[in-house]
C-alpha cells in the first residue's frame, strides 16, 4: 500500500496546499496530512484549527486523514506506515531547501522516499507567510484560501 505523509505547518491552509493534495490523490492509496507543531514557529492559528480545516475540506475523501504531530517527520511516517513524504515546490529555492530535508530524512530511514510536486503556476505566489501578513493587516486574503478557511475567518 502506498501511504504518503504530507507534512507542514499549514498556517493557514492555502489553495497551494490543497492543490498539491488533490493532485496527489491518484498517486497514493492513502494520504495523511500531518499538521506539524513546530517549536521554532509561533503560529497564527492553533494546530486544532488547522486540523479542523483539513478535516472539513477533505471530508468526502475517504483516503485522506489528518493529524497533528510533533517531533521528527520520519518518526511520524513510521508510526503511520507511510513510505512516502509529499512536498510541494513553488520555486527553485524551495527545491534546494526541501532537498536538504529529504536527504536528511533518507539518512534517517532509506525506506521512506520524498516525492516533490510542483504547484500550479497560478498558486506559485501563495505562501502562508504572505497570507498571514495580509490577514494580520486586515487585507482580503480570500484569493489565496479555500472556502472553508475563508468562512471560518469571517466568524
Catalytic positions, please?
17, 41, 90, 128
Rounded Cα distance between 149 and 1, Å, is: 31
Class of residue 146 by CB neighbours under 10 A (exposed 0-12, middle 13-18, buried 19+): buried
DSSP 114: E
Rounded Cα distance between 137 and 68, Å, is: 28
Grid cell, residue 67, equals 493529524
Peptide bond into 12 cis (omega under 30): yes
Backbone angles phi and psi of 86, in degrees to 5: -100, 135
Rounded Cα distance between 52 and 12, Å, is: 11
Amino acid at each position: 500500500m502506498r501511504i504518503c505523509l504530507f507534512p507542514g505547518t499549514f498556517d493557514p491552509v492555502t489553495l497551494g496546499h490543497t492543490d498539491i493534495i488533490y493532485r496527489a490523490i491518484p498517486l497514493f492509496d492513502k494520504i495523511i496530512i500531518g499538521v506539524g507543531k513546530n517549536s521554532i514557529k509561533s503560529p497564527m492559528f492553533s494546530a486544532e484549527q488547522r486540523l479542523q480545516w483539513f478535516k472539513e475540506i477533505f471530508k468526502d475523501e475517504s483516503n485522506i486523514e489528518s493529524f497533528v504531530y510533533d517531533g521528527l517527520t520520519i518518526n511520524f511516517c513510521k508510526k503511520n506506515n507511510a513510505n512516502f513524504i509529499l512536498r510541494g515546490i513553488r520555486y527553485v529555492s524551495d527545491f534546494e531547501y526541501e532537498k536538504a530535508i529529504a536527504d536528511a530524512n533518507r539518512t534517517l530511514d532509506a525506506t521512506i522516499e520524498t516525492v516533490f510536486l510542483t504547484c500550479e503556476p497560478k498558486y506559485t505566489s501563495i505562501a502562508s507567510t504572505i497570507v498571514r501578513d495580509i490577514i494580520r493587516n486586515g487585507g482580503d486574503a480570500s484569493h489565496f484560501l479555500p472556502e472553508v478557511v475563508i468562512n471560518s475567518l469571517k466568524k
